[in-house]
Amino acid sequence: MQTLQLPTELLSDRAYAALRDRLVSLEIPPGAPIDEEALTGQLGVGRTPVREAIRRLALERLVVVYPRRGTFAAAINITSLTDITDVRVQLEARAAERAATLADADDRREAGELIAKLDAAESGQRRLIELDAEVHRFIYRCSRNPYLEQDLDRYLNMSLRIWHLTWDRLPPLEQRMREHGELLEAIRQGDRERAREIAAAHVLAFAEEMRAAL
């Protein structure tokens, strides 16, 4: 019986997502070496998908590749938070506005499911930040603009690394989650102005809390 082999592109996407999450959550800490051979075994993929994932992560500034030295998790530049926020507040607002305008029936159903997940979520900073990222990435997809989605995902990852660095000094995330519920409801209702307003305020409040913790 033949084993079904996934296309290299799909395997590299899987390797990318797994490695990205380890870098963003600081499971792989800043400055740590990236062992390609170990990753192939841990992720159950070959060298080519891992290398493709590393190329993508290098472009997103999550890893740094040094010729003849190897690949390392990128350092976290805390001073970049202001610049990242300046960009995110504009792009997140635009993505939310587009999502409210372009969401179809399936998107609105998924938004409702996310609202239910937020309502049922137990307290716990790390679990809530996973939900936060899930909501953001859902909105990016609903914007129907792959360039906007790609850029926003990159800036989100940078912000999340700073969050993971400071999470034990941050206030509870429940208020941020309530904002997400309101944002998702605005998208369900097609209220583009409300969605834009909530998204911008959410990014600014989130950044201010991290800045206070630094």
Same domain membership, residue 128 and residue 47: no
Q: Is the pLDDT of residue 128 over 90?
A: no
Same domain membership, residue 170 and residue 116: yes
| 3-state secondary structure at position 73 | strand
Same domain membership, residue 82 and residue 52: no
Specify if 131 maps to a domain.
yes
Question: Could you give the CA distance from residue 205 to residue 53 in angstroms, rounded to a whole number?
Answer: 32
Question: Could you give the CA distance from residue 75 to residue 61 in angstroms, rounded to a whole number?
Answer: 9
Average pLDDT over residues 36-53: 93
Same domain membership, residue 65 and residue 125: no
User: Could you tell me where the DSSP H helices lie in the chain?
Assistant: 8-24, 36-43, 47-59, 81-102, 105-120, 125-142, 146-166, 174-189, 192-213
Site of tokens 């969401």: 103
Same domain membership, residue 112 and residue 15: no
Number of domains in the chain: 2
Read off the pLDDT band of 3 (50, 70, 90).
very low
Determine contact, residues 199/95, Cβ cutoff 8 Å: yes
* Of the residues 73, 89, 115, the one at which a domain ends: 73
Q: Is the pLDDT of residue 1 over 50?
A: no
Average pLDDT over residues 94-102: 98
Specify if 19 maps to a domain.
yes
Same domain membership, residue 83 and residue 67: no
Fill in the DSSP letter of residue 79: G
Q: Is the pLDDT of residue 124 over 90?
A: no
Q: Across 1-15, 132-146, 159-173, which has the greatest mean pLDDT? A: 132-146
Same domain membership, residue 61 and residue 47: yes
Same domain membership, residue 185 and residue 110: yes
Name beta bridge partners: 66: 70
Which residues form the domain of 203?
A: 78-213
Specify if 2 maps to a domain.
no
Q: Is the pLDDT of residue 181 over 70?
A: yes
Same domain membership, residue 144 and residue 121: yes
Same domain membership, residue 91 and residue 69: no
Per-residue confidence (pLDDT) for residue 9, from 0 to 100:
62
- The CATH number of the domain holding residue 90 is 1.20.120.530
Specify if 31 maps to a domain.
yes
Same domain membership, residue 203 and residue 128: yes
Q: Is the pLDDT of residue 55 over 90?
A: yes
Question: Could you give the CA distance from residue 47 to residue 104 in angstroms, rounded to a whole number?
Answer: 38
Per-residue confidence (pLDDT) for residue 4, from 0 to 100:
44
- Taking CA atoms, 15 is separated from 35, 96, 99, 192, in Å, by 13, 28, 28, 35
Mean per-residue pLDDT over the chain, rounded: 92
Same domain membership, residue 48 and residue 16: yes
